């Protein structure tokens, strides 16, 4: 079943999979842009056909969006937790109710299979529910033992930063546009969001639902346009910058934010691994490794591009894994039932094609896939498994961000940990073993921000109370949990001093004051106060 957002192909057969122009007009009206702004045309990776023309926001438009957001923010920050909670709980329900339209849009813009689009719906609902329930306690003032116990009473307050600038990518156009905004809003900030051009319609539909859920006017502004101009203008104006994208762009965002002394979080690339230990449940590990590698056609920041297999299980795991990969159903359809969809663009297809060509030219072997599939869709590439990949090949170390995975045989857990860590990245990993204690021990030695034991990626990601993010070149800062909301606040220490000052007083001269304080510090240490 598809939504009304799709133009009716019976009325206009050429319009199959085109978005209803009236709907596009309504969504475009939410963009901060001049009335006769230049437009860019979105094409669908599912068909290669144009989807919609959307306005481009100039840097002046971005400045207007920030001015409106800044004007709206104090009133929003003055609302109660209950007010904000109501908005997010309503948004949770709306996302689930309107999922058919959201799924259509995600698929039309990103080209992914419907099951993978559904993960975005889930993610929005889970994030909304989590922060609706927990934001108040995350943001509650905390008490601390003061400089002089009982006499100094310290509290930490968490104030909103002001207006948060969010630049979100194309690969999860709904979830990454919305779920980083949710905690920012719950902390009392306004937000200016610049979603990637290739995910703009979907992001606008998500924002529309937040408005329908009760988010007041002005609090969440959307600007559209190229990263180098519109995106950069958002980076240059935010009181905090939340960026998701490549490591190269992340470094430039960090430089811009550092210049203005505003803080930022970066969720960047990865070269993630799956480790299958010798005691893994073979069927579960095969199914999980396939999902880890090919969800959203590998265009998932936490998906795996390296499968490390213990020597003792390698000869059983590999044929089963390759068989399961070959059996994946490819399709570009707005129906459930396919296991992998399209890449998002010609550029992504070119990268995958080049990484495979380079590896084969240097001696790697294809065990599954290896070719583009224009018969399925203009940017579809088969899920591909390579063996014999060496460090001379680009795909050994560089992120492909596509359905390409290499197999490696490892002698034991130590070798697996060493290989998993042999990358500049540090985003996600997955470990498969029947012995959860062993899995946790291996996980703790892998330098990635999340590790899933006996799951591909979703367990750690969707455990919303726990932090998620990258070590090394995979990022700075975390989303989710307390860290994912406190980053959008300024911590303020307010300490009240009672009875005595922290200075010589009550007739003590400086020498005696120093002596009393020295005794006091020793006493505090001996009773274990810190
Ligand atoms: P990219 O860095 O080229 O672009 C990311 C976004 O930033 C785009 O919307 C782009 O238009 C915008 N942009 C470009 N220059 C900018 C600038 N100067 N200022 C502000 N914005 C600018 O990345 P990409 O190739 O489009 O996306 C894929 C990459 O994103 C992959 O490396 C992937 O791993 C990463 N990614 C990471 C996560 C995560 O959560 N860690 C999630 C999704 C994607």
User: Which atom of ligand 1 is found nearest the CA of 197?
Assistant: 9
Between the CA of 127 and the centroid of ligand 1 the distance, in Å, is: 21
Between the CA of 249 and the centroid of ligand 1 the distance, in Å, is: 6
pLDDT tens profile 413-437: 999 999 999 999 999 999 999 999 9
Element (H, E) at 439: helix 436-445
301 a catalytic residue: yes
Query: What is the per-residue pLDDT for 47?
Result: 87
Q: What CA–CA distance (Å, rounded) separates 342 from 44?
A: 10
Where in the sequence of the chain do the CATH 3.40.309.10 domains occur? Answer: 272-463
pLDDT tens profile 207-253: 999 999 999 999 999 999 999 999 999 999 999 999 999 999 999 99
Between the CA of 83 and the centroid of ligand 1 the distance, in Å, is: 33
Q: Which of 170, 178, 227 to mutate to test the pocket of ligand 1 (most atoms within 8 A of CB)?
A: 227
Q: Judging by DSSP bridges, how do beta strands 365-368 and 304-310 pair with one another?
A: unpaired
Question: How big is the CA angle at 475 (ends 128 and 353), to the nearest 5 degrees?
Answer: 100
Between the CA of 318 and the centroid of ligand 1 the distance, in Å, is: 33
User: 59-268: which CATH architecture?
Assistant: 3-Layer(aba) Sandwich (3.40)
User: Which atom of ligand 1 is found nearest the CA of 195?
Assistant: 9
Give residues (CB < 6 A) around ligand 1.
Answer: 167, 169-171, 196, 227-228, 231-232, 235, 244-246, 249, 252-253, 267-270, 301, 399, 401, 427, 470, 475
Between the CA of 146 and the centroid of ligand 1 the distance, in Å, is: 43
pLDDT, averaged across the chain: 96
Question: Binning pLDDT at 50, 70 and 90, where does residue 123 land?
Answer: very high
Query: What is the per-residue pLDDT for 11?
Result: 44
Between the CA of 282 and the centroid of ligand 1 the distance, in Å, is: 35
- Of 267, 305, 382, 455, the active-site residue reads 267
In this structure, are residues 69 and 81 in contact, taking their beta carbons and an 8 Å threshold? no
Q: Is the pLDDT of residue 13 over 50?
A: no
Residue appearing with tokens 């002001």 = 162
Closest residue CA from atom 34 of ligand 1: 269
Between the CA of 237 and the centroid of ligand 1 the distance, in Å, is: 18
Q: Is the pLDDT of residue 358 over 90?
A: yes
**Adjacent-strand bridge partners of 492:** 157
Q: Is the pLDDT of residue 6 over 60?
A: no
Q: Is the pLDDT of residue 192 over 60?
A: yes
Between the CA of 374 and the centroid of ligand 1 the distance, in Å, is: 26
Q: Which of 202, 245, 259 to mutate to test the pocket of ligand 1 (most atoms within 8 A of CB)?
A: 245
Between the CA of 171 and the centroid of ligand 1 the distance, in Å, is: 9
Query: What is the per-residue pLDDT for 139?
Result: 98
pLDDT tens profile 87-122: 999 999 999 999 999 999 999 999 999 999 999 999
172 Cβ neighbours under 8 A, 6+ residues apart? 110, 120, 123, 199, 296, 300
Query: What is the per-residue pLDDT for 3?
Result: 63
Q: What CA–CA distance (Å, rounded) separates 267 from 460?
A: 15
- Of 124, 242, 293, 301, the active-site residue reads 301
Does domain 272-463 bear CATH number 3.20.10.10?
Answer: no
Residue 285, judged by CB atoms within 10 A of its CB (0-12, 13-18, 19+), counts as: buried
User: Which atom of ligand 1 is found nearest the CA of 250?
Assistant: 2
Question: Binning pLDDT at 50, 70 and 90, where does residue 12 land?
Answer: very low
Closest residue CA from atom 44 of ligand 1: 245
Where in the sequence of the chain do the CATH 3.40.605.10 domains occur? Answer: 59-268
Query: What is the per-residue pLDDT for 529?
Result: 85
Question: Binning pLDDT at 50, 70 and 90, where does residue 42 land?
Answer: confident
User: Which atom of ligand 1 is found nearest the CA of 479?
Assistant: 40
pLDDT tens profile 370-418: 999 999 999 999 999 999 999 999 999 999 999 999 999 999 999 999 9
242 a catalytic residue: no
Query: What is the per-residue pLDDT for 16?
Result: 58
User: Which atom of ligand 1 is found nearest the CA of 347?
Assistant: 25
Q: What CA–CA distance (Å, rounded) separates 293 from 59?
A: 38
The proportion of the chain whose per-residue pLDDT surpasses 90, expressed as a percent, equals 94
* Residue 497: alpha-carbon gap to chain centroid: 43
Question: How big is the CA angle at 305 (ends 304 and 309), to the nearest 5 degrees?
Answer: 85
Closest residue CA from atom 16 of ligand 1: 227
pLDDT tens profile 452-468: 999 999 999 999 999 99
User: Which atom of ligand 1 is found nearest the CA of 194?
Assistant: 9
Edge to edge, what strands does the sheet with 404-410 contain?
365-368, 384-387, 404-410, 304-310, 272-276, 428-432, 450-453
Closest residue CA from atom 3 of ligand 1: 246
Closest residue CA from atom 14 of ligand 1: 227
* Residue 483: alpha-carbon gap to chain centroid: 14
pLDDT tens profile 461-494: 999 999 999 999 999 999 999 999 999 999 999 9
User: Which atom of ligand 1 is found nearest the CA of 249?
Assistant: 2
Please state the rounded mean pLDDT for residues 112-139: 98
Between the CA of 191 and the centroid of ligand 1 the distance, in Å, is: 19
User: Which atom of ligand 1 is found nearest the CA of 399?
Assistant: 32
């Amino acid at each position: 079943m598809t939504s009304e957002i799709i133009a009716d192909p019976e009325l206009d057969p050429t319009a199959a999979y085109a978005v209803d122009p009236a709907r596009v007009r309504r969504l475009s009206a939410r963009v901060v842009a001049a009335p006769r702004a230049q437009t860019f045309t979105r094409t669908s990776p599912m068909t290669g056909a144009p989807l919609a023309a959307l306005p481009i926001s100039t840097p002046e438009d971005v400045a207007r969006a920030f001015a409106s957001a800044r004007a709206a923010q104090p009133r929003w920050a003055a609302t109660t937790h209950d007010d904000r909670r109501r908005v997010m709980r309503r948004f949770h329900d709306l996302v689930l109710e309107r999922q058919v339209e959201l799924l259509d849009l995600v698929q039309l813009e990103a080209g992914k299979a419907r099951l993978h689009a559904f993960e975005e719906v889930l993610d929005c609902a889970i994030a909304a529910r989590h922060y609706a329930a927990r934001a108040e306690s995350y943001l509650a003032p905390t008490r601390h033992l003061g400089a002089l116990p009982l006499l100094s009473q310290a509290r930490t307050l968490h104030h909103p930063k002001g207006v948060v600038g969010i630049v979100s990518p194309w690969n999860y156009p709904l979830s990454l546009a919305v779920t980083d905004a949710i905690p920012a809003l719950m902390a009392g900030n306004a937000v200016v969001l610049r979603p990637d051009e290739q995910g703009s319609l979907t992001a606008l539909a998500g924002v529309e639902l937040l408005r329908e859920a009760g988010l007041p006017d002005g609090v969440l502004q959307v600007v559209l346009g190229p990263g180098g101009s519109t995106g950069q203008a958002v980076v240059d104006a935010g009181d905090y910058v939340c960026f998701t994208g490549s490591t190269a762009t992340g470094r430039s965002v960090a430089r811009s934010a550092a210049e203005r002394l505003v803080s930022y979080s970066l969720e960047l690339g990865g070269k993630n691994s799956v480790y299958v230990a010798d005691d893994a449940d073979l069927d579960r590990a095969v199914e999980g490794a396939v999902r880890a590698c090919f969800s959203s056609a590998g265009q998932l920041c936490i998906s795996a591009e390296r499968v490390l297999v213990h020597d003792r299980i390698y000869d059983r795991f590999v044929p089963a894994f390759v068989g399961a990969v070959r059996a994946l159903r490819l399709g570009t359809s707005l129906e459930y039932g396919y296991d992998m969809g399209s890449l998002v663009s010609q550029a992504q297809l070119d990268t995958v094609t080049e990484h495979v060509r380079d590896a084969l030219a240097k001696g790697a072997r294809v065990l599954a896939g290896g070719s583009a599939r224009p018969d399925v869709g203009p940017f579809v590439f088969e899920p591909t498994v390579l063996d014999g990949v060496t460090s001379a090949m680009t795909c050994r170390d560089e992120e492909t961000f596509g359905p390409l995975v290499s197999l490696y045989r490892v002698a034991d857990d130590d070798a697996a940990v060493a290989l998993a860590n042999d990358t500049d990245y540090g985003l996600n990993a997955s470990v498969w073993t029947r012995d959860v204690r062993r899995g946790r021990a291996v996980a703790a030695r892998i330098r990635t921000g999340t590790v899933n034991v006996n799951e591909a990626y979703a367990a750690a990601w969707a455990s919303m109370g726990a932090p998620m993010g990258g070590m090394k070149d995979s990022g700075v800062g975390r989303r989710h949990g307390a860290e994912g909301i406190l980053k959008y606040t300024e911590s303020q220490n307010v300490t009240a001093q009672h009875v005595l000052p922290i200075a010589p007083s009550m007739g003590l001269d400086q020498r005696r004051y120093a002596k009393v304080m020295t005794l006091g510090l020793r006493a505090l240490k001996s009773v274990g106060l810190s």
